[in-house]
Structure 1
Amino acid sequence: MPDQRPHPLAFPVMLFGNAALAFGPWLVRLADVGPVAVGFWRLLIALPFLWLLARVVRQPAFFPKRSLALLVLGAAVFYAVDLAAWNAGILLTKLGNATLFGNSGSFLFALYGLWLVGRKPSLMQAGALALALVGAVLMMGSSLELSPQHLRGDVLALVAGLFYGGYLVFVERARGGLQALPLLFLATGFAAPMLLVISLAMGEVLWPTNWTPLLVFALSSQVLGQALLVWSIGVFPPLVVGLALLTQPAIATLIGWLVFGETLSLADWLGMIAISAALVLVRLPGRGLRTAAARPS
């Protein structure tokens, strides 16, 4: 993996994409269809926009060779299960919790990145991981203490997070041979019918009366947020991407506080500060962090 210096704006752009994704739980609550159906519409509505965007930036979608196609299909399967479980969990727990547990796979992705380079984490990397873990535990502990009935939603979101980690690994592998937008377009196209089948099997309300939350959700989370996430996986090492994903629960927690009046405890605030500090540590120069391997942008 050759050392490269990403563009100075690459890291803020990645954080901006995570901020767009953090609004997802709020929009799931605003939709008037079943939670799995929300995921289906998110993907279906995004497809033409992703296709057009890929054409505009000269990354046209194409069906890859078999080995890459299997990686994309694997990403789609993990992504579909992630969205189904995550959206269901969002309705049963706090926004911050849903986003925190839904991104728990980012820890696995970060550890996968260290395994990928075949070495132990440096002291600074280990410190960043420890701070992020402390922040996550603080936010999780605050939720369970304030409202034990959130546990069911937390478990669903945690299951979603584990599948999300698998999705990120498949995306990382596929980024070795596919540009960001063709990869996201194909994974979105494969995952959408899977979510439709799950939604119909669960007997959910499928057809919306208010399209606004679904349209905003598709454009903000799928077209903008996921596109920037998939792009950043080709630019930064998994450790940096994994820890950056933890900014989402902090933002979602603030949204829950401002919009839904969800209580923020001292532990919530300390958890958000710890996660922010972990991001600062992992971005300090000269600590042996490598950027992602050279691959299509």
Structure 2
Amino acid sequence: MRKVGLTTIAALVVAIVAVSASAPMIAFAAAPALAIAFWRNALGTAALAPAALLGSRGGRGGEPGRRRGALGVTLLSGVFLAVHFGTWVPSAKLTSVAMSVALVSTTPVWTALVAAARGVKVPASTWAGIGIAVAGVALATGADPDLSGRALLGDALALAGGIAAAGYTLLGERARATLPTTVYASVCYSVCALLLLAVCLASGTRLWGYTWETWIAIAGMTIGPQLLGHTLINYSLHRVSATTVAVLLLLEVPGALVIAWLLLGQLPAARTLPGIAILLAGVAVVVLGARRRQPTKGGTIISPEAIGTT
């Protein structure tokens, strides 16, 4: 068993705080949700471009045909990432921050279901976790006093964002077997940004003219969750198992709740908290259940790309 040093612990703490700030900053920013999603990925692409160019020169080697195939998978992964951000970012403005983050955190549940549909044997504990998570969703949404169409749409979009993140996860796992991390992330973010830009232009979404506070929030989302959070998560994955990191990152939900309270004065209704807690417990059981299964040709339920999509 590897000893976890103070540097790794500090990296995980900073990563959890960084990703926890994502949804509150989205809710704070006075800009259209799709524009926020576009700028976050466009700025992330620009920041990663120099490292991606260096990574493409060094690369991981391998046959040219495999690399072309991996790039094709990466392009499709970028489509799923665009769907993820295009649904989840609006959800943070329509429903409570706590509900939005909790529902999008169900990604491991959807990857488990995809694995089962592909004929991969899923442990009984994983199915139990899925049942617990579903019960938590039902309890949390049923106890939410805000049953407006706006809030329910936000809940549905958050779930859709979690499902799209599962597609991004599974495709990313295949692409990362051949491509360097920076190349994969840069291509994926750029495809995501271009698709979101097209949607923004087609829908007439305003892309500039925001207040300086909003631009600071957008920059904060890029530097914090998008770059700093993901970078430190990848750093930690070389020293701590993906399963452990995935479970620890469920702390994003209470972290987002605290930040939303401090930044927005927003707290979820107390009666929804037990359901959110049960939902997170179910996701944790799914993650831990995946650990019992060795990687197979059909892919794994939990991989580095499954972590930290927000």
Shared fold per TM-score greater than 0.5 = yes
Maintained 8 Å contact 1:184/1:227: no
| Equivalent-residue separation in structure 2 for 1:247 and 1:280 (angstroms) | 14
2:90 to 88, 91, 95: 88
How far 1:133 sits from its partner (Å)? 4.3
What does residue 46 of structure 1 align with? 44
Task: For 1:132 and 1:214, locate their aligned partners in 2 and report how far apart those are by CA, in whole Å.
Answer: 31
Cα distance change of structure 1 residues 232 and 176 upon mapping to structure 2, 3 Å threshold: farther
Are residues 1:248 and 2:252 paired?
Answer: yes
CA distance in 1, matches of 2:232, 2:111: 17
CA contact (8 A) 1:18 1:225 kept: yes
Matched residue, 1:218? 222
2:173 is aligned to: 172
1:1-297 matches, within 5 Å, as 8=4, 17-52=15-50, 60-61=55-56, 65-112=67-114, 118-121=120-123, 123=125, 125-143=126-144, 145-149=145-149, 150-207=151-208, 208-210=210-212, 211-228=215-232, 236=241, 246-258=250-262, 259-269=264-274, 271-272=276-277, 275=280, 279=284, 288=292, 290=294
Q: Percent identity?
A: 24
C-alpha displacement at 1:77, in angstroms?
A: 0.5
Amino acid in the other structure paired with 1:50: L
TM-fit CA distance, 1:117: 9.5
Q: TM-score, normalised by structure 2?
A: 0.73
Instruction: Quickly say closer, same or farther: Cα 1:24–1:196, change in 2 above 3 A.
Output: same
Maintained 8 Å contact 1:85/1:159 = yes
- The Cα of 1:221 is off from its aligned counterpart by 1.7
Shift of 1:276: 5.3
Instruction: Tell me how many residue pairs correspond in the alignment.
Output: 285
Give CA deviations for 1:177-236 in whole Å, capped at 9, x if unaligned. 223332112211221111111111111121133221111010112112344556778985
Shift of 1:116: 7.9
CA contact (8 A) 1:25 1:90 kept: yes
Structure 1 vs Structure 2 CA RMSD: 4.0
* Structure 2 segments unaligned to the other structure (5+ residues): 306-310
Scaled by the length of structure 1, the TM-score of the pair is 0.76
CA contact (8 A) 2:33 2:90 kept: yes
**Is there any run of 5+ residues in structure 1 with no aligned partner, and where?**
none
Report if aligned partners of 2:112, 2:122 keep a CA contact under 8 Å in 1: no
Q: Per the alignment, do residues 91 and 277 of structure 1 end up closer, same or farther by CA in structure 2, a change over 3 Å counting?
A: closer
